Structure 1
Amino acid sequence: MNFRFRYSFAVNFTLFKLSKTNPESLFLLRINDEIFINAGKETLNKIFDQNRFVVSPTFQLNNSLSISPTWNSQYASTSTSGHYRQTNVFWLQVRHNLDLSKGSKAN
């Protein structure tokens, strides 16, 4: 049986406000480093799996909606022992937080 452990360290910085009238509207910068380690009897020489370094500038429109163009630099092991692959991945994140605890009150 094998396991994969994942350790992530992330920091968020508020760089500036996007609006004087809406204090929830912010421009943030998120920096994250994440490492994946294999464990178990069948891992042999493949203990290191991958490392991801992520930079994500974020436009927080309000507390429930944000948009982030994100860059991910990924360094990962391959099926060949001692060989690794480095890739750059770009994606667009849209986060919408739903508050399901607010129910409509019956009259």
Structure 2
Amino acid sequence: MLLSVGVLYAAAGYAQSPAKEVIHQQLVWLSYANTLKFHPKWSLTSEIHERRFINPNRHHQFVLRSQARYALGENWEAVAGFTYFRQSPNDPKATQRLVVPELRPHIQFNYNQPLGRLTITHRYRAEKRFFRNTSNGELAPGYNTNYRFRYRLGIEYRLAEINEQPLKLKLNDEIHVNAGNKIVYNRFDQNRIYAGLSYGVLDNLEVEAGYLHWYQQRAAGNQFYNRHIAQLTISHRIDLTKKQMGAED
């Protein structure tokens, strides 16, 4: 975490000049995630996200993501997934509301370190991003691409049991780094710091609310987004292996 925060401030210091421009924005992210476990080692997670600006209330991003997950053992998990984005303008007051698609396959490795009531989590993700071309304010044929690498360090702490369901504090810090021949000034892409609370409403249903601070360097190098984001997530898990075992019994 200290490393990613250090890179964040190094990038901010690099742009300390009269031309530096920081745009402050407020957003709300709403999401639902469904995980189907159909084998002791295999599961499939599907997500839907709606992301909106606050004041004014305008659409920002719509996201669909699907991920196949495989338990490697020793608290390691391998993931392969695909994300479909619909990106509205980054300026909520823009009069032209062109929505630009992005296609994003990724591979990922997760590692958890349980330490009693505390769990330390690590997520390593590599993405290939395909942005739809635009011309004269309209979509054009073809895509331009680049790579992005992400590392997220997280902490989950079980605060209490309420009606036999866990209440958890979640903290994480994630750094994003761009790569590709079209990346000139913003090798450092962004840093995200998150704090939230999750509660298991049922054995297989969890609700989580939190705050995300998103600081991003734009392609020009001297322009930054400083975003404050309220998040609400519902996570639903369905274990099909239990049903299969019950049918065999």
In the aligned structure 2, how far is the partner of 1:63 from the partner of 1:91?
Answer: 22
Shift of 1:106: 6.2
Residue in 2 that maps onto 1:57: 197
Give the Å deviation of 1:61. 2.7
Contact residue 176 and residue 191 of structure 2 kept, 8 A: yes
- Taking the aligned partners of 1:79 and 1:39, their CA distance within structure 2 comes to 12
After TM superposition, what 4+ stretches of structure 1 lie above 4 angstroms from structure 2? none
Q: In structure 2, give the amino acid aligned to 1:53.
A: I
Once the two structures are TM-superposed, the CA of residue 78 in structure 1 deviates from its matched residue by 2.1
1:37 to 152, 174, 177: 177
- Aligned residue number for residue 146 of structure 2: 2
TM-score normalised by structure 2 residue count: 0.39
Unaligned runs of 5+ residues in structure 2 are 1-144
Cα deviations across residues 35-90 of structure 1 (Å, max 9, x unaligned)?
11001222111101111111111112344111111211100122432221111111
SS of the equivalent of 1:97 reads strand
User: Which of 134, 155, 158 is the equivalent residue of 1:14?
Assistant: 158
Secondary structure of the corresponding residue to residue 54 of structure 1: strand
Which residue identity does 2:151 align to in structure 1? Answer: Y
Which residue of the other structure, out of 239, 242, 246, is the alignment partner of 1:99?
Answer: 239
Q: Which position in structure 2 is the counterpart of 1:82?
A: 222
Give the Cα separation in 1 of the matches to 2:248 and 2:166.
35
CA distance in 1, matches of 2:146, 2:234: 33
TM-score by length of 1: 0.85
> Does the aligned pair in 1 maintain the 2:183–2:219 contact within 8 Å?
no
Q: 1 or 2, which has the higher helix percentage?
A: 2
- Report if the CA contact (8 A) 2:186-2:220 is conserved: no
Identical-pair percentage: 25
Give the unaligned 5+ runs of structure 1: none
SS at match of 2:247: coil
Q: Calculate the aligned-residue CA RMSD, in Å.
A: 1.8
